[in-house]
Chain A
Amino acid sequence: MRRWAADVPFWSAVPFVIVVAALAALPLSLRISPYERNLVTVAFLMISGALAWNWMGGYLGQVSFGHAAMFGLGGFVAARLMLHENPAPAPIAWLLGGIAAGVFSLGAHPMLRLRGPYFSIATIGVGEASRLLFTYWEEFTGGASGVSLPIDIGMKARLYWWALGLAALVVTASFVIRRSTLGLQLLAIKADVDAAADVGVNATFYQDLVMVLSGAVVGITGGLWASFFSFIEPADMFGFDRSIGFVLMSVIGGVGTVLGPVLGAVVFVLLRQFLLASYPQLYLGLYGILLILIILFEPLGLTGLGLRLARAVRRRRRAPGVVAAP
């Protein structure tokens, strides 16, 4: 899998650019209603968040159950900046929200020496403590009743392109990180942090770097989210369910890959929307079953499943008439 990611040639940017261009043109077509456009916008935001989570959870192998803290922080900082008497333009507010979230995640630096389940449990603690503290901090988050942003009629339409741009940027960054020596060093840290340090990888620095980047991108996503919904409250933004969402999207799609979180986010958003409308009582259990099956049978999730299918097809093409051995 590592070889696969590292071998992607530069010209694979061509199909990527085509897909992004097609998506950018989508709202201009008459067939897409505002409802569908908004759904895709949410999917873009989830893609960005899931990929950024994956930098930590997949590339570095540090499974975080507390990314809602950065999501919420980014969202509320952006919202406060937009509500200021000299309101910041939305893109600047989002960016500053992201920076705030990035700085905040640097505070988790001492936690990085925890590995595996210890780290995960610590992130649960950070996430829940943040939720309680920020809910209590009335002046900043509006307390339990949250913050409303003034309605900007054209905002949702514009946000489609902003969210697409962000998602495209994060996808590109994910590829670049994967291909670069940084990606290799992260893999080394993931496999064995001490061994990596022995061969000269500055493990502390790279872990901090990835954590700050991951937190900042999730924070920016939170800012766009705030603009999109015009109303945010801490219980929702900092909620445990939101942290879980990032985990589920990446794991269902394929943890550690680039395509995985993208697929996972799309499935997450669509599944939620369609299952909720018709079988609201089933969606949690379905995620649970998917999670169990993926962990047991296909650790690379939907991406792994796709690769397996592709391999099977190739094998049959190469050897017509011969039944492949299991």
Chain B
Amino acid sequence: MDRFVDLAVSAVLLAGLYATMAYGLGLIYGVLRVVNLAHGGVIMAGAYLGWILHGWAGLDPYLSIPLVVGATFLLGMAMYRVLVRHLPRGPAGGPASLLLLFGVWLVLRNVAYLLFTGNDQVIRTSYSTHALPLLGSFVSVNRLAVLAIAVVTPALLHLVLRRTYLGRAIRAVAQNADSCTLVGIDVERIYTLTFGIGTALAGLAGLLSATIFSFNPGFGSGELLKSFVVVVLGGLGSVFGTGVAALILAIVEVFAILVMPSYLTAAVGFVMLVLVLVLRPGGLFGQRVLG
């Protein structure tokens, strides 16, 4: 029983991390129908931004959230204005956007490599290794914070999408961009902002991961793959589904260790990815648009 609780706690914490990583990818796909392969690169950039702010300015990683989110928001808008905007729309644009953004990722990796070398870095704070007792097991303070942020973020996102003009415009564009033009919504502007917000969420995920993991310029590829699984599982574009999907993936991965060697648990997510795509292409919860 003890063990069950341990694993469950571990799964919930992991789910928080997965969800944070996946929100941005899901949002961009939901609105623009573009798979942001540069997502992993932005996660890596977020980690390094936090590391610089902590190392040079002594800023606590949680206090640097606004700065990192702001910087990656601008980066995302720039990426859209300079690059993504010029891609062909529709089904023909699918592979092209994939490849273009993959190119952006390669460039980001290379820039990080030139700036910071390939060495592994960590952000170490006074509370990095602190743990709190919870339900008879120990929980790292950092992971709790990540979980809290993972819960608050979609709530905020939901509010923004439901209650603000911008949010309603974003949802309208996601449903039918052509008629939005007719009623006077500046679709390009909405696309730019959405790409910025999606990228900022990736930056946030990177910063949070950096408080838990060590990272180098190659960081982000594993995170990108997990995000794929979560987004596909939850239905591309659904904020609520993303959270639940993150929990499902985490639970399956964590509890898989009871029945299989730990080395293979990493493969479980990929198998789920393929199965869900083939059996339920709309995601486990059906295709919703930004619910």
A residues engaging B (CB < 8 A)?
57, 61, 63, 110-111, 113-118, 120-122, 124-126, 128-129, 132-133, 135-136, 240, 244, 247, 251, 281-282, 284-292, 295-296, 299
Contacts and interface: CB of A to CB of B under 8 A. Distances in A.
Contact of B266 (A126, A132, A281): A132
B189 to A, nearest CB: 21
Contacts of B149: none
B281 A288 contact: no
Interface stretch (B177-185, B190-198, B267-275): B267-275
A135 B264 CA distance: 10
Contact of A115 (B91, B261, B270): B91
Interface of B: 35, 83, 86-87, 91, 94-100, 102-111, 113-114, 221, 225, 228-229, 232, 261, 263-264, 266-267, 270-271, 273-274, 277-278, 281
Contact of B104 (A113, A122, A282, A288): A288
Which A-B residue pairs are the 6 nearest by beta carbons? A285-B110, A288-B106, A291-B103, A116-B94, A125-B273, A288-B107
A251 B225 contact: no
Given A120-B94, A128-B270, 8 more contacts: A117-B95, A125-B229, A136-B261, A288-B107, A289-B107, A295-B96, A295-B100, A296-B100
Contact of A118 (B86, B102, B107, B281): B281
Contacts, number: 124
A289 B266 CA distance: 32
A116 B100 CA distance: 14
The DSSP consensus for interface residues of chain A is helix
A63 B274 CA distance: 15
B103 A292 contact: yes
A281 B221 CA distance: 19
B100 A292 contact: yes
Given A128-B225, A296-B86, A121 B273 contact: yes
Contact of B274 (A57, A111, A136, A288): A111
Contacts of A110: 278
Given A114-B277, A129-B267, A251-B99, A121 B228 contact: yes
B264 A121 contact: no
A125 B110 contact: no
The DSSP consensus for interface residues of chain B is helix
A136 B102 CA distance: 29
22 contacts: A63-B95, A111-B277, A114-B278, A117-B95, A120-B95, A120-B98, A125-B270, A125-B271, A125-B277, A129-B270, A136-B261, A244-B102, A281-B114, A284-B106, A284-B109, A285-B110, A285-B111, A289-B107, A291-B100, A295-B100, A296-B100, A299-B96
A122 B277 contact: yes
A289 B274 contact: no
Given A111-B277, A284-B106, A240 B221 contact: yes
A244 B105 CA distance: 12
B107 A285 contact: yes
A122 B278 contact: yes
A237 B287 CA distance: 36
A295 B37 CA distance: 14
A293 to B, nearest CB: 8
A122 B274 contact: yes
A99 B9 CA distance: 46
Contacts of A251: 99
Nearest to B102: A291
A122 B108 CA distance: 24
B85 to A, nearest CB: 10
